[in-house]
Amino acid sequence: MNSVIKNAMTPGKASRASLLPLILLTCMGAQAATFTGTVVDINGNPVVGAMVTLEPSWPGPTYVTAFSDPDGRFSLPDQVNYRRGSEFQVAIRALGYELVDSSMEEAGDGVSLTVIARATDNQVASAPASAWLQNKANHDTTSTFVLDCVGCHQVPSPEFRHYAAAIADIPGTDRDAIRHASYDALVKYMNFLSAEEFGRGPEAGPPDASRVYEVGDGPRVIDYLSANFTDRMDSVSGYDWGAPLAVTPQTAIMEYEVPRPNAIREVLLLGEPKQLWAADVASNAIVKIDPESGYTSSLEVPSDTPVGPHSLHRGPDGSLWVAPFITSVVGHLDVNDGTWDTWRMQTVNGTPTGIHDLSFGADHTLLTDNDGLVWFSDIVNNAVGYLDPDTGAIDHYMAPPVLDRATTGTALYGLVMTSDREEIWFSQLNIGSIGSFNVVTREFGLSFQLPLNSGPRRLSISDDDILYVPLYGTGQLVEYDTKTNTQIGIYDMPDMASAPYAVTWDPVRKVVWIPTSNTDVIYRFDPADKSFSVLPMPRTGAFLRMVDIDPDTGNLVTSYANIVGHVHGPRMALIIDPGDGAYR
């Protein structure tokens, strides 16, 4: 068996996201029932916790990843069908290691792969973006920076680091002025892209970019960039995941790449047989992906204006609910017969809404109140509201001002419903606040204040009505009892620059899954002992937003959601088997 380094795309497959250096191998034996292997260093010692990724040339997942155990051994999932004569590419991601070579041989009823890796002090190819933020002395300042700049893309991304290197290479003596002017131009460009993205709405008036993702305090961001990113940024060392790995020998990550251009955001697994349904916010499309074949198709949300499907919710009957990114159109799709219902959502005075989340409960499934009303958060009008699916009637309730907090740009954001279906809880991203609203009395209740730079985003709720809130800016998790209205605790993430975007309660495992936008990992939080463990992704640039849990298998369903369209990085749907057998 000969192996060669190959960076080209495999014939027969569409676009490819960049992996670490790839090695091309050909399986010459009979169809394999098993695919196992070992990761060792150049001295033959096992490499623990390495992600071994295969890019097969046959139908199915675009990439398949397994983790090496304490003996360096790994095994790829049985459901992946390896075929005689098939080519595939191999890559690894392991902090502090780089791929050297790989070889393969027949082993019983399958094949065995040996991967050789070399230790390296420079983790530039394997560490996440947050690794460059670890040594910043002032955590509050860094938290504010994360909240300002990691809404659409990781910072510092490879493209950002290349920009910093170009600045560092400019000849001259006035380095501070050159750096400041360069970062000033960068921030202006980011705001231009934000205004362009949020300007795709109807003539009635698009959402105001300054209310959502615009860099509101440009001078503050420019000063931070100028002070903290002063070199070529082509080296980083000493980073670790900060918590034990939440993996087993059976853990498997299946990634499905979608033909570009796209701006894949959220993903659910629905239907029979189960299909992946992904929101493409750059279009009116829901992308349907067959996990067995990898084939994709597109379903248009019926609308005479741009929709930009944004938030996806599983209906109690297994249907798909879609909340918009661009206009005030909520959609409902019967995934079995392909029929749509849509509702045009406007406030009572005719202005558009900015719907973000629809109400859901502990199992992450759409949950109505006891009158059958679907509740939603409105980030444009800082309001909660309801839709009556039977009549199309809607109403809005504007959130009251919060003492000592801003009255503009408040962005009422995440939304969940308690088990009695009488109360909703919400987060207000830009003012560090969470609060409640009684859907029976139609009155706002408690408001709980966090630091301004905390950035509470998409919250979740447990079977016992315990609220979990990710703090995007400060990199923490809040645990709050909605029955007694007391904070149970606030916990630092293993990486506090990870930008935790959302949380999902797991009703079987009784844990919280926390996707992050800046660290390429999903955290697992166990409320029983308040411990974290970490499930890393096999590639850098893995901007994660939502995680759903398939109610039948317990598999995690998520996506690499790099938006807007100008943002570089992987855009994929993922199915992750944690390998713990909890749902069997």
* Span of 114-128, 256-270, 437-451 with lowest mean pLDDT: 256-270
Cβ neighbour number for residue 105 with a 10 Å cutoff: 11
The last residue of a domain, from among 119, 148, 170: 119
* Residue 149, domain member (yes or no): no
Dist CA 301 CA 8 (whole Å) = 35
Give the pLDDT of residue 305.
80
Written as six digits, the tokens of 209 are 């970019």
Q: For 470-483, what is the mean pLDDT?
A: 97
Q: Spell out a b/e string for 400-419, using b for 16 or more CB atoms within 10 Å of the CB, else e.
A: eebeeeeeebbbbbbbbbbb
Q: For 267-280, what is the mean pLDDT?
A: 96
The last residue of a domain, from among 101, 119, 137: 119
**What's the DSSP call for residue 175?**
H
Q: Could you tell me the residue range of the domain that residue 22 belongs to?
A: 4-119
Written as six digits, the tokens of 520 are 């390429």
pLDDT digits (tens, 9 = 90+) for 319-351: 999 998 767 889 999 999 999 999 988 766 777
Give the pLDDT of residue 213.
55
Please report, as a single letter, which amino acid is at residue 213. Y
- Sign of torsion, CA 527 532 537 539? positive
Beta strands at 355-358 and 340-344: parallel, antiparallel or unpaired? unpaired
Q: pTM (2 decimals)?
A: 0.93
Written as six digits, the tokens of 263 are 């701006």
* Residue 416, domain member (yes or no): yes
pLDDT digits (tens, 9 = 90+) for 373-406: 999 999 888 999 999 999 999 999 999 999 888 7
Report residue 56 CA to chain centroid gap.
Answer: 24
Q: Is the peptide bond before 156 cis (omega within 30 degrees of 0)?
A: yes
Residues 259 and 110 in one domain: no
* Residue 182, domain member (yes or no): no
The last residue of a domain, from among 64, 94, 119: 119
* Residue 499, domain member (yes or no): yes
The structural domain count of the chain equals: 2
Neighbouring-strand partners of residue 487? 480
pLDDT band, very low/low/confident/very high, at 506 (cuts 50, 70, 90): very high
* Residue 57, domain member (yes or no): yes
CATH number for the domain spanning 531: value is 2.130.10.10
Give the pLDDT of residue 1.
28
Confidence check: pLDDT of 226 > 60: yes
pLDDT band, very low/low/confident/very high, at 82 (cuts 50, 70, 90): low
Residues 378 and 526 in one domain: yes
* Residue 127, domain member (yes or no): no
DSSP E strands: which ranges in 260-308? Answer: 264-270, 275-280, 285-289, 296-300
Beta strands at 34-41 and 110-119: parallel, antiparallel or unpaired? parallel
Confidence check: pLDDT of 211 > 50: no
pLDDT digits (tens, 9 = 90+) for 193-202: 777 766 665 5
**Report for 24-33, 52-61, 349-358, 520-529: range of highest mean pLDDT:** 520-529
* Residue 222, domain member (yes or no): no
pLDDT digits (tens, 9 = 90+) for 546-574: 999 999 999 999 999 987 777 788 999 99
Dist CA 116 CA 100 (whole Å) = 5
CATH number for the domain spanning 80: value is 2.60.40
Contacts by 48-52 with C-beta closer than 8 Å and gap 24+?
48/72, 49/94, 49/245, 49/247, 50/74, 50/92, 50/93, 50/94, 50/97, 50/115, 50/117, 51/92, 51/93, 51/94, 51/253, 51/536, 51/537, 51/538, 52/76, 52/90, 52/91, 52/92, 52/113, 52/115
pLDDT above 90: percentage of residues in the chain: 69
Please report, as a single letter, which amino acid is at residue 134. Q
Residues 113 and 258 in one domain: no
Q: Is the peptide bond before 261 cis (omega within 30 degrees of 0)?
A: yes
pLDDT digits (tens, 9 = 90+) for 352-363: 788 899 999 999
What strands, in cross-sheet order, belong to the sheet with 296-300?
264-270, 275-280, 285-289, 296-300
Q: Which of 574, 478, 566, 480 is nearest to 521 (CA)?
A: 574
* Residue 106, domain member (yes or no): yes
